[in-house]
Chain A
Amino acid sequence: MTVPTLSAVNPAAPTGQPAWAIERWTRASVAFAIAAMLLLAALALAPLALQAGVVDRLTTLFIYVILAVMWNALAGYAGLVSIGHQAFFGLGAYAMVRLADAGLGPYPALLVGAALVALAAVPLAVFMLRLQGGEFAIGMWVLAALAHLCVNLDSLVQGETGTSMIALQQYAADDRRAATYWLALAAMAGLCWAVFVLLRSKVGTAAQAIRDNETAAISIGVRVVAVKRLVFVLSAFGCAVAGGLWLATSISFQPKTYFSVQWTAYMIFMVLVGGIGTMEGPILGALLFFAVETLWGGQGVLYLIGLGAIALLFALFLPKGLWGAVQQRWDVHLLSAGYRVRWQAPHGVHADRVVVGVGDERGAHTGR
């Protein structure tokens, strides 16, 4: 690549001189956004046409996408690896059970419950975000274990026996399936959109600055803690919604299932395989995880060993995941949260355009 001279930096350079153009939307990302809209519209109509089993599986896929995107928002953009996100997943379901027991309809209970979990996450964020690295990771795990034990104490839940969302039985099975599907689809689209918008805002730039170098970010005046708190609470909210949706599909609430660390293992798998620190990665990871689960989920323990081994290998040999590798190889950005500087060659000079990514997925994603 030619090293640009100072004059090239000036966009208003006279014709014949090379110039920079700063762009955010590329042709690929515009096309992808349109395709995503069309896909969402098609998915919204799916329950009218597809079989019940397929609709249920798609709902599961949407929940996986939510979990992956939420965990990635925290790990990939705020640099915080949590091993305790099952806490929010479980508490979301538990809040739904509790509110439904208090007389709220199941679906309003789901949303209000998730909002309450997000509210509870605010003081937790103040506390937990003072921890760093491994301390945050296991601190969250302890928190999840404590939440699990405390939920067990509730007589409504009956310890590990669990309880059921009887209130859901008031709907016919098909209506319930479709309603849960639409809610999951809307939640997935809404949460992905929220993360996307957040990352493209000043907050997102700040979050990425923190992830890449926290000390440097502080030194240039980024309000590190405020940004991390916002991402933490959003992430808690999303996982709580996912927990509620899972309860709406499975009806029975057993604390052991919902507060299992396996959920976080799935999130880590999806994000690591897809590509940590990118928008597209976790979605790709969720799709792959969904495929892997559909194909080999019945293998039991061997399947779980495989998941762990794949996560380990990706962490060691492809820490940016599949999408990170794709980006490096072909420079494709479908949902770019950063800006790119494009060098426009002067007329007559035989040079194809040169694209340089700036402040985007080229930083060190894996942390620090």
Chain B
Amino acid sequence: MNLLNQVLQGLLLGGYYAVLACGLSFMFGVMRIINLAHGSLAVVAAYLLWWLAEPLGWHPLLALLAVLPAMALLGWALHYLVLERSARLGALVPLLATFGLASVIDNALFQHFGADTRSLANAIGTLAYDSWELPGGLYVGQLPTLVLVLAVLLLGGLHALLAHTPLGRQIRAASEDADTARLVGVRTGTVFAAASAITMVTVTLAGASLALRATFDPFSGPQQLIFAFEAVIIGGAGSLWGTLLGGVVLGVAQNLGAQVHPQGFLIAGHATFLVILLARLYAGGALRRFFSNPLRRATP
């Protein structure tokens, strides 16, 4: 039963990873950019929420409503200031630029907020630890379940946006072939900026989940980036529903690893990532088809 419990908790943790990873996956799918500041930006959102909720005493939901547009605006600016310019200069420049940006963000957070570990758990009362009892003596936390639901809604929303809205069509067109898209009247710059803003909305929700579920400090960003990246790769790069699967696999592996050894949580996560990567690269066709079948390719 303990094993089952760990799997269940891992599944719920996977929900958080999916929220965290969907922005990374979305941006990679649309712009072919891996944003190395992804985790750090989630931590920025977490700090903004914490700052509004704790010292200023806002209700966390109100704080979230304020931070979401602010981060979306930041995403818009990020596109014009960093991403677009660096992507024009070559495929490797966005990596170098966003790595520099992450370093600036992490250290600036440290400079401003200090090294203290923060959490928003206090601001939401009993929701932080309330849980539902399932038959068989299993408990599922209400907050982790909410985050998992959020993940499903977010991924579904992104999928619906890409598949069924005019903006989604423009994003797909711009991502497929920017020059041709421009030729038929798509303003690719604006479209990509909008995609960056959408990414930052998911990043904010990830930051909120992080702040509510766990603790964070100024240097949490890189670790979150690695988790997000592992979830994306395990699930299949560029696929939205695969990201959920990837997050769940990662979460379950980490929870099982923690049962084996105190350090097993991270080791099991990294090892699972590398093994799946290896399997993907070498097992080729059969495995790829298996992974790609119904779950993959939400992003066109």
- Which A residues are within 8 Å of any B CB, using their own CB? 75, 79, 81, 83, 127, 130-131, 133-135, 137-139, 141-143, 145-146, 149-150, 152-153, 261, 265, 268, 272, 301-302, 304-305, 307-313, 315-316, 319, 364-368
7 examples of A-B residue contacts, CB within 8 angstroms: A127-B278, A127-B281, A131-B277, A138-B229, A308-B103, A316-B85, A366-B92
7 shortest interchain CB distances as A-B pairs: A134-B34, A308-B103, A312-B100, A367-B92, A366-B90, A311-B100, A308-B104
Partner of A138, one of B34, B100, B103, B267: B34
- Kindly supply a per-residue 1/0 record for chain B positions 263-279, scoring 1 wherever the CB is within 8 Å of any chain A CB and 0 otherwise: 10011001101100110
**8 further A-B pairs in the complex, CB-CB below 8 A; given A305-B111, A313-B100:** A134-B36, A137-B95, A149-B270, A265-B103, A272-B100, A311-B96, A316-B85, A368-B92
Shortest CB-to-CB span from B92 to chain A, Å, is 3
Q: Which residue of B lies closest to A311 (CB)?
A: B100
- Kindly supply a per-residue 1/0 record for chain B positions 98-114, scoring 1 wherever the CB is within 8 Å of any chain A CB and 0 otherwise: 01111110011011000
Partner of B92, one of A75, A138, A139, A146: A75
Task: Give the docked Cα–Cα distance between A315 and B102 (Å).
Answer: 13
Task: Give the docked Cα–Cα distance between A312 and B102 (Å).
Answer: 10
Task: Give the docked Cα–Cα distance between A302 and B267 (Å).
Answer: 33
Shortest CB-to-CB span from A317 to chain B, Å, is 8
B100–A309 touching, CB < 8 Å: yes
Interface residues of B in 272-295 (CB under 8 A from A): 273-274, 277-278, 281
Q: Known: A145-B226, A146-B267. Contact between A268 and B108, CB under 8 A?
A: no
Task: Give the docked Cα–Cα distance between A138 and B100 (Å).
Answer: 14
Name the A residues within 8 Å of B261 (CB-CB): 153
Q: Known: A139-B277, A145-B270, A149-B267. Contact between A367 and B90, CB under 8 A?
A: yes
Task: Give the docked Cα–Cα distance between A367 and B87 (Å).
Answer: 11
A315–B267 touching, CB < 8 Å: no
- Which B residues are within 8 Å of any A CB, using their own CB? 28, 33-34, 36, 82, 85-86, 89-97, 99-104, 107-108, 110-111, 222, 225-226, 229-230, 233, 237, 261, 263, 266-267, 270-271, 273-274, 277-278, 281
Q: Known: A127-B278, A146-B274. Contact between A133 and B34, CB under 8 A?
A: yes
Partner of A142, one of B33, B34, B226: B226
Partner of B107, one of A127, A133, A308: A308
Task: Give the docked Cα–Cα distance between A252 and B229 (Å).
Answer: 33
A142–B225 touching, CB < 8 Å: no
A133–B278 touching, CB < 8 Å: no
Name the A residues within 8 Å of B93 (CB-CB): 315-316, 319, 366-367
Name the A residues within 8 Å of B104 (CB-CB): 305, 308-309, 312
Q: Which residue of B lies closest to A261 (CB)?
A: B222
Name the A residues within 8 Å of B34 (CB-CB): 133-135, 137-138
Task: Give the docked Cα–Cα distance between A308 and B108 (Å).
Answer: 10
Name the B residues within 8 Å of A310 (CB-CB): 100
Name the B residues within 8 Å of A150 (CB-CB): 267
Name the A residues within 8 Å of B36 (CB-CB): 83, 134, 137-138
Task: Give the docked Cα–Cα distance between A313 and B267 (Å).
Answer: 35
B281–A130 touching, CB < 8 Å: yes
A308–B274 touching, CB < 8 Å: no
Task: Give the docked Cα–Cα distance between A96 and B263 (Å).
Answer: 24
A315–B266 touching, CB < 8 Å: no
Among B89, B103, B237, B266, find the residue whose CB has the most chain A CB atoms closer than 10 A. Answer: B103
Name the B residues within 8 Å of A139 (CB-CB): 233, 277
Name the A residues within 8 Å of B95 (CB-CB): 81, 83, 133-134, 137
Task: Give the docked Cα–Cα distance between A150 and B28 (Å).
Answer: 30
Task: Give the docked Cα–Cα distance between A32 and B22 (Å).
Answer: 52
B107–A301 touching, CB < 8 Å: yes
B270–A146 touching, CB < 8 Å: yes
Task: Give the docked Cα–Cα distance between A141 and B274 (Å).
Answer: 12
B107–A305 touching, CB < 8 Å: yes
Name the A residues within 8 Å of B82 (CB-CB): 312, 316
Among A139, A146, A316, find the residue whose CB has the most chain B CB atoms closer than 10 A. Answer: A316
Name the A residues within 8 Å of B278 (CB-CB): 127
Name the A residues within 8 Å of B102 (CB-CB): 308
Q: Known: A134-B28, A366-B89. Contact between A304 and B266, CB under 8 A?
A: no
Name the A residues within 8 Å of B28 (CB-CB): 134
Name the B residues within 8 Å of A312 (CB-CB): 82, 97, 100-101, 104
B100–A142 touching, CB < 8 Å: no
Shortest CB-to-CB span from B277 to chain A, Å, is 7
A142–B273 touching, CB < 8 Å: yes
B225–A307 touching, CB < 8 Å: no
B96–A81 touching, CB < 8 Å: yes
Name the B residues within 8 Å of A313 (CB-CB): 100
Shortest CB-to-CB span from A182 to chain B, Å, is 34
A307–B97 touching, CB < 8 Å: no
Shortest CB-to-CB span from A59 to chain B, Å, is 26
A79–B230 touching, CB < 8 Å: no
Task: Give the docked Cα–Cα distance between A137 and B102 (Å).
Answer: 14
Task: Give the docked Cα–Cα distance between A311 and B37 (Å).
Answer: 14
Among B94, B267, B270, B271, find the residue whose CB has the most chain A CB atoms closer than 10 A. Answer: B270
A138–B226 touching, CB < 8 Å: yes
Name the B residues within 8 Å of A309 (CB-CB): 100, 104
Among A138, A268, A307, A308, find the residue whose CB has the most chain B CB atoms closer than 10 A. Answer: A138
Task: Give the docked Cα–Cα distance between A152 and B263 (Å).
Answer: 9
Name the A residues within 8 Å of B110 (CB-CB): 301
Q: Which residue of B lies closest to A134 (CB)?
A: B34
B281–A138 touching, CB < 8 Å: no
Name the B residues within 8 Å of A308 (CB-CB): 100-104, 107
Partner of B111, one of A141, A301, A307: A301
Task: Give the docked Cα–Cα distance between A142 and B274 (Å).
Answer: 8
Name the A residues within 8 Å of B101 (CB-CB): 308, 312
Name the B residues within 8 Å of A367 (CB-CB): 90-93
A315–B100 touching, CB < 8 Å: yes
Task: Give the docked Cα–Cα distance between A46 and B277 (Å).
Answer: 49
Name the B residues within 8 Å of A133 (CB-CB): 34, 91-92, 95
